[in-house]
Amino acid sequence: MPQFTDEHGVVVSYYVWDVPEPKGIVQLVHGLGDHATRYGALAAALNAVGYSVFADDHRGHGQTGLDQYGGDHSRLGQLGPGGLGAAVDDVHELSRIARECHPGIPLILLGHSWGSLMAQIIANRWSSDYDAIVLTGTAYRMPGSMAAGDFNKRHKSLGTTGYEWLSRDPEVSAAFLDDPLTFYADALKLFGVRDGLKLFGRPAKDLPTGLPVLIMIGDEDPLGGVASVRRLADAYRRRSGLTDVTVIVYPQARHEIFNETNRDEVVADLISWLDAHAAP
């Protein structure tokens, strides 16, 4: 497993699903309580059509988190020295590594859930480092447009795992519950007030006009919802000046659209958009 050490001394583990002569690189940025290897099926689908995939286990998550805390699963979720800012920097560092591995190849940043919020922060700071941005399970990062608390409230009558909000597929919620590397976490409680508040923000003004952005959510996603992502898309167009912003909403789908019952449709839409916007 490849690793790098960040400026705070945290050893970050990452994964590479590579193909010979890729037409693009997709960097996956996983969510809170999540880890990179849960995206193996998506990586395989992208490999099959010519995209290499890079993904790290963020600080406090997956193998990175286990290494930070000597294998203590009870400490997963704690980001460690540097907090959220350092986690964002680590994702950007993996972008640099991916570019070095495949110089001159388009790089697409694909963030899901918490990963999509970090991707929005990264796009604000380093937009010129990316050829396209994809945000899934995302929200407009402003109070009133991004929920917190019990995400399963609307779906708790549909099962007993507590994770029915993730997908209509009951195997997904069961697998999440059984996975020793996944966990439920309230971002504000886990990160503290200072780092929690850093999740709020708007798209930056005057981003590169031609940067394409794809936003994909289920209309039963409890993090933001349809109105929230419409506000996000409008901010990218009006505030940031982007001319190529696409929103796809999947009826009745929940938070993890790549693990939904219509996952084949979702992946096909993603690949079609990538081929049209990011492939040479």
pLDDT in tens, 204-214: 998 999 999 99
Q: What is the pLDDT of residue 257?
A: 98
- Average pLDDT score over residue span 177-186: 91
**How much is the average pLDDT of 85-114?**
97
Q: How many whole angstroms separate alpha carbon 172 and alpha carbon 261?
A: 10
User: Tokens representing 23?
Assistant: 């037409």
- Per-residue pLDDT, averaged over 44-66, amounts to 98
Q: Which of 118, 153, 94 is nearest to 31 (CA)?
A: 118
Residue 152 has pLDDT above 80, yes or no: no
The mean pLDDT value of the chain amounts to 94
- pLDDT at residue 280, rounded to an integer: 66
Per-residue pLDDT at 150: 76
Burial of 171 (0-12, 13-18, 19+ CB in 10 A): exposed
pLDDT at 154 exceeding the cut of 80:
no
Q: Quick one: what percent of the chain has pLDDT higher than 90?
A: 86
What pLDDT is attached to residue 93? Answer: 98
Structural domains in the chain, CATH included, are: 3-277 (3.40.50.1820)
pLDDT digits (tens, 9 = 90+) for 225-269: 999 999 999 999 999 999 999 999 999 999 999 999 999 999 999
Query: Which pLDDT does position 155 carry in this prediction?
Result: 78
Confidence at 189, pLDDT banded by 50, 70, 90: confident
